[in-house]
């Protein structure tokens, strides 16, 4: 399985970089994981709704340009479906079984994802109704993908 994590902005915090690198290393035997960062759009603190939409659209264009045409796209969005770790594992297993081995998880910037990217997504996934920093979401996501792979192989870890 080829897993692409597309995200807005550069990760600067060392503890997050180290944590993500550890899980990507652990995922090596299960999947090829690629993390692709696109630049975030510089924006003033107090923006109008139209300016916020423009920021999301510009970041969305950058993300869409990095997606493979045949990728199964999972958009991380607060209004998405909330799954258990076992449901995520089952979904990844089903995708691999039915020939959809190119999966892209997309994490938007601080303002979320563009409407165009959400339309391109095959599904929307939520890790809860709370807002998490998009940088932290990378670590949470890669850990959950690792957990899903362990579940699918019947290996201990997920409890």
Question: pLDDT tens digit string along 28-75?
Answer: 999 999 999 999 998 888 899 999 999 999 999 999 999 999 999 999
Residue 150, marked binder: no
Residue 130, marked binder: yes
pLDDT tens for residues 122-154?
999 999 988 888 889 999 999 999 999 999 999
**Cα distance between residue 152 and residue 86, in whole Å:** 9
Q: What are the counts of helices (DSSP H) followed by strands (DSSP E) for the chain?
A: 5, 5
Main-chain phi, psi angles of 65, to 5 degrees: -65, -20
pLDDT band at 85 (very low <50, low <70, confident <90, very high): very high
pLDDT of residue 90: 96
Residue 131, marked binder: yes
How far the first Cα of the chain sits from its last, in Å, is 24
Q: How far is CA 11 from the centre of its chain?
A: 14
The CA-based dihedral angle spanning residues 129, 123, 17, 145, taken in that order and rounded to the nearest 10 degrees:
100
Residue 105, marked binder: no
Residue 127, marked binder: yes
Q: Using an 8 Å Cβ cutoff, are 88 and 152 in contact?
A: no
The CA-based dihedral angle spanning residues 44, 17, 126, 93, taken in that order and rounded to the nearest 10 degrees:
150
**Cα distance between residue 80 and residue 12, in whole Å:** 27
Residue 129, marked binder: yes
Q: What is the pTM of this model?
A: 0.94
Query: How many angstroms separate the Cα of 105 from the Cα of each of 109, 137, 154?
Result: 13, 11, 23
């Amino acid at each position: 399985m080829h897993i692409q994590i597309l995200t807005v902005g550069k990760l600067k915090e060392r503890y997050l970089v180290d944590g993500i690198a550890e899980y990507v290393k652990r995922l090596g035997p299960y999947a090829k994981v690629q993390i692709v960062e696109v630049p975030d759009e510089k924006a003033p603190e107090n923006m109008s709704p139209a300016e916020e939409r423009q920021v999301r659209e510009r970041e969305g264009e950058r993300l869409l340009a990095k997606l493979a045409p045949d990728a199964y796209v999972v958009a991380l969005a607060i209004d998405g479906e909330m799954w258990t770790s076992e449901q995520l594992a089952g979904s990844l297993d089903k995708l691999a079984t039915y020939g959809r081995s190119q999966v892209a998880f997309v994490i938007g910037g601080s303002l979320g994802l563009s409407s165009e990217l959400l339309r391109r997504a095959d599904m929307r996934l939520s890790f809860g109704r709370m807002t998490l920093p998009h940088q932290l979401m990378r670590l949470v996501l890669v850990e959950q993908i690792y957990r899903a792979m362990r579940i699918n192989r019947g290996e201990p870890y997920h409890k």
